[in-house]
Structures are given as structure tokens and as C-alpha cells.
Amino acid sequence: MSYEKVSQAKNFIVGTKQTAKALKQGIVKEVIVAKDAEPRVLAFVISTANELNVPITYVDSMKRLGKACNIDVGTAAVAITH
């Protein structure tokens, strides 16, 4: 379900660093996070999203999340933006 949400989104940002940056800018509607990513990599994104009351959706696979973004590598986080 959430993989489709990403693949159908017009505006999204890929990667934990870019997602964190977008969260700070206040342009994120929702964060999609892969459960199989390293927890320490995701910690800042998750805590920032929680602080800003941005919804977080969890998916199972970094590889499938990357594929939904039309990239050839996995990604730990994706931000759907306004």
C-alpha cells in the first residue's frame, strides 16, 4: 500500500539526510520508513518527524522502497512533500 503511495506521489525526497532536511524546512506531509534499515540511521528522522507531528508509515523493505522511487538501490526513508 505505502509503496504505491510513494510511486504515485508527485513530490518526494529520497534518503534519510534529505528527508531530515525537508522535515526541518516544514515541507513534509508524510515520512515512509523501511523497517529493515539500521535503527541508528533512522533515529534522527523518526524523532524529528515525531516532534513535528508528521505521520510516519513503515514498510518492510528498503529495496522495495527504492524501487517505488524508481532508483536501483534501497532507501531507508522517503519524504512525501507538499
As a three-state string, the secondary structure of 16-73 is HHHHHHHHHHCCEEEEEEECCCCHHHHHHHHHHHHHCCCCEEEECCHHHHHHHCCCCC
pLDDT at 71: 96
For the entire predicted model, the pTM comes to 0.93
Report pLDDT digits (tens) over 1-22: 589 889 889 999 999 999 999 9
The domains of the chain are located at: 2-69
What cell does 82 get?
507538499
pLDDT digit string, tens, across residues 21-47? 999 999 999 999 999 999 999 999 999
Domain 2-69, what fold? 60s Ribosomal Protein L30; Chain: A; (3.30.1330)
Between the two ends of the chain, the Cα-to-Cα distance in Å is: 20
